[in-house]
Amino acid sequence: MNKVILIGNIGKDAVLEGKKGSFSLATNETWTKDGEKQEKTTWHNVVIWNASENLIPHLTKGKKICVQGSIDNYQYEKDGETKYGSAVVADFRNGIEFIGNSSGGGAQGNSPPIAPPEDEDSIPF
C-alpha cells in the first residue's frame, strides 16, 4: 500500500498548469532532547492531477491543511543532469482538508509562519 497523510502549512500559493495543481507543504516535528526543545521542518512537493479550478485559489501560503495521497518518485533532466525527486500525489476530491480558520492567508492556530525552502531548484515544478 502506498498512502501518506500529512498535516502542515502551505509554503507558497498553489499553481495550476493545465490539469496539474502543485504547491509545497511544510510539516513540523518537535521533540525534547536533553531537556531542550528540538524542531525540524520538512518540505514536501504536492501534486493534484485533474485539479479543480475552484480549489486552487484556496490553497494559499500559510494555510494549514491535511493532505492524503500517495508518494511518487520521479526523475527529470536539468542542465544536462539527471535529478531525482518525490511528490505527494493528492486526490483532489477527498485528499485535501482545510484545518482551522481557512478564510485568510497566514499561519493558522499556534503554528509559526513558515518560509519556503531557500533552494527552490529542489522543487521541479
Domain boundaries, the chain: 4-112
Q: What is the pTM of this model?
A: 0.75
CATH level 2 (architecture), domain 4-112: Beta Barrel (2.40)
pLDDT band at 125 (very low <50, low <70, confident <90, very high): very low
Of 74, 62, 49, 47, which is closest to residue 99 (Cα–Cα)?
62
pLDDT band at 103; cut points 50, 70, 90 = very low
- Rounded to whole angstroms, the Cα distance separating 19 from 1 reads 25
